Chains A and B, each alone.
Chain A
Amino acid sequence: MLRFVVRRLLLLVPVLFGLSVLLFAWLRALPGDPARTLLGDKATPEGIAQLNAFYGFDKPLVTQYLSYTARLLHGDFGSSPRTGQPVLGTFLERFPATVELALAALLFAIVFGIPLGYVAARRAGGWVDRLFVAGSLLGVVIPVFVLAYLLKIVFAVGIPGPLHALAFLPSSGRQDPRIDATHITNFYVLDGLLTREFDASWNAVTHLILPAVALGSIPLAIIVRMTRASVIDVLNEDYVRTAQAKGLSRSLITRRHVLRNAMLPVTTTIGLQTGLLLSGAVLTESVFAFNGIGSYLFDAISGLDYAVLQGFILFIAVIYALVNLVVDLLYGVIDPRLRTS
């Protein structure tokens, strides 16, 4: 087991190396002069040269790359020329917000997706099944930010008329600024629980609902479909028929034989949603002004912020890889056959 983990972590090294080279090459080829963008219209040639020298933009690319990786290995991801803040610091400060949002979205997708998929599979071919399958297709084809706007207008801003009563949720931010909450971990919901400021916790939860539903819509659709397909496969297995022939109760068969086996492919699917959640966060967070890494990345794209783009995409790739490793490990927990090999 340990050897497996170490081997997988070592495999990550060449991937990260290649990724850093690619990112460096790509982002350096970005159009526009960062110094000019930064200094604006009043930039003097001396000012630009000074700034370029300060950030090393005037050195040969290979030198720039080598010094960049050397600093990376020391845990120094540079600082943003735009805000002056260190990249690593900003990332760590904002990352909890995105994790909170992604977990809420995933929770929403799992809590609704698995039961809906199971019900659809049990009634395969019937109208309930068709309705759920059609609904899950809609979830995939509606762009995330369109759904986010729709949710925002109906449940936060309010449409004029009788439906205005539906607008009871906050439209932006992570917490009402009027609440004087103490922040320890930057996971706002958790902070409120730790400091026993339950109203702050609850307020953070209400801010999470709309972005989480918008972000969770695609994973929800995928989980419904995957659970449905997987449960149908398992229901046709010989061991389920044997269990039924033995006279086991339906709930026992469902719990011990059907769900347990059907959850294997679903677990992998859930793990694969990480990438989707992280890229979806860029769109969702900016609609709801949710201060996570997504909205920061959004600003970095328009501000030509190399350091932030490089650092954040590298971080996201590492997280993506680590989550997939955890999913593979979880596989061993769920599937005893894989534990020994």
Chain B
Amino acid sequence: MTAEPLSARPQALTDLMGDVGLDERGTSLWQGAFQRLRRNPSAIIGALIVLAFVLVAVFAPLIAPYEPAKSQWIDQVTPSTVPGHSAEHLLGLDPLGSDLFTQLVYGARQSLIIGIVSTAFGLAGGVILGTLAGGLGGWVDTLVMRLVDILLSIPSLLLAVSIAAMLGQRPSAIMIAIGAAQVPIFARLLRGSMLAQRNQDYVLASFSLGLRRRTIVMSHVLPNSLGPVIVQATLTLATAIIEVAALSYLGLGAPDPAVAEWGRMLVKAQDRLQSDPHLTLLPGICIAVTALGFTLLGESLREALDPKSRR
């Protein structure tokens, strides 16, 4: 992040004015935001949840006692009962005969991968479209924004459903679908943020220094417009994790029923809701807590970056 306002100064300007002393540096936007975040309890709770989630996802093979999605103990599962807690299985088995604790741990990994890949995909598409619209303006802007309008006229879950249905039963379908449904949201947000930057004095100054339009857009306007987009990306990770579960529920995504994915586990346990509610509750709690972590972090970040809350 080119956060330092002074280091972001165009080279031409530095040449004209000479180097700046350290004492001239103030607190940058992101430094200030970080200081405010550290004082905010909900930001700390959110960050801890996210940290724990990422650690579990990364070190899943070390934490989980067994291999995921193997259905090794399918013979112990009957249509009406599922073995509960025992010495070998901390949380018992899942309805497809895998260790429930192992499945939950690997579910974190699955959620993290789907969340990050789909958000990165949506972010990349949104940044490209948003930069084209906000940076070039004119007919490109009109064209891109009409496309964005069309995409936004479909509720995002239904958009994701249509795309996932088109891509068929493969694991990547869900990631692409969720990411693609986020593209218009990121594009519109970035364009708005870039339009607000375009009339700033520093942009005028860069133009008057004779910098090329591409340089101004890419190295000045874009980095300064990314704040709201990064906040949205954090919040999108929460939505992505919930939407994965919804798409799994609708029967889209990976064809393997035993796969360690929280949404899928929840759906497979629904007919045992009355006899073994923990099979539905535990993945549901995992989804909710993880989404809560990203939401708390994202909203604290939004507050911290908001000019109104700055002194």
Contacts and interface: CB of A to CB of B under 8 A. Distances in A.
Interface string A121-137: 00000000000000001
Interface string A261-298: 00000000000000110111011000000000000011
B309 to A, nearest CB: 13
Interface in A276-329: 276, 278-280, 282-283, 297-298, 301-302, 304, 309, 313, 316-317, 320-321
Interface residues of B, number: 41
A143 B245 contact: yes
Interface stretch (A41-49, A82-90, A144-152, A241-249): A144-152
B270 A149 contact: yes
A11 to B, nearest CB: 9
A40 interface: no
A159 interface: yes
B288 A141 contact: yes
A165 interface: no
A145 B246 contact: yes
A309 B242 contact: no
Given A279-B155, A279-B156, A143 B246 contact: yes
A30 B146 CA distance: 25
Given A140-B295, A144-B246, A19 B153 contact: yes
Given A19-B150, A31-B168, A313-B158, A298 B288 contact: no
A18 B146 contact: yes
A209 B289 CA distance: 27
Contacts of B157: 279-280, 282
Q: Which of A30, A32, A141, A309 has the most CB of B within 10 A?
A: A141
Interface stretch (B8-16, B129-137, B272-280): B272-280
A144 B251 CA distance: 16
B277 A159 contact: yes
Interface in B247-287: 249-252, 263, 266, 270, 273-274, 277, 280, 284, 287
Contacts of A30: 165-166, 168
A142 interface: yes
Interface string B153-184: 11111100111011111000000000000000
Contacts of B229: none
A224 to B, nearest CB: 14
B60 to A, nearest CB: 22
A159 B163 contact: no
A157 interface: yes
Nearest to A152: B273
A169 interface: no
A4 interface: no
A23 interface: yes
Nearest to A141: B291
A275 B155 CA distance: 5
Given A18-B146, A141-B292, A313-B158, A27 B277 contact: no
Given A146-B266, A279-B158, A313-B158, A15 B150 contact: yes
Contacts of A142: 284, 287-288
A29 B168 CA distance: 10
A120 to B, nearest CB: 15
B11 to A, nearest CB: 42
Given A19-B153, A143-B287, A149 B163 contact: no
A26 interface: yes
A159 B278 CA distance: 13
Given A15-B150, A142-B288, A157 B274 contact: yes
A153 interface: yes
Contacts of A150: 284
A104 to B, nearest CB: 19
A193 interface: no
A138 interface: yes
A22 interface: yes
B146 A14 contact: yes
A313 B160 CA distance: 12
B69 interface: no
B275 to A, nearest CB: 9
A22 B280 CA distance: 37
Nearest to A133: B42
B166 A26 contact: yes
B147 interface: yes
Contacts of A18: 146-147, 150
A309 B250 CA distance: 14
Nearest to B263: A143
Given A26-B163, A143-B287, A282-B250, A157 B155 contact: no
A222 to B, nearest CB: 12
B273 A157 contact: yes
Contacts of A29: 166
A153 B153 contact: no
Contacts of B296: 137
Interface of A: 14-15, 18-19, 22-23, 26-27, 29-32, 137-138, 140-146, 149-150, 152-153, 157, 159-160, 275-276, 278-280, 282-283, 297-298, 301-302, 304, 309, 313, 316-317, 320-321
22 contacts: A15-B146, A18-B147, A26-B163, A27-B165, A31-B169, A137-B296, A138-B288, A141-B288, A143-B242, A143-B245, A143-B287, A145-B246, A145-B249, A159-B274, A159-B277, A160-B274, A275-B155, A278-B158, A304-B165, A309-B165, A313-B154, A317-B153
Given A138-B292, A143-B288, A301-B250, 4 more contacts: A23-B162, A30-B166, A31-B167, A276-B155
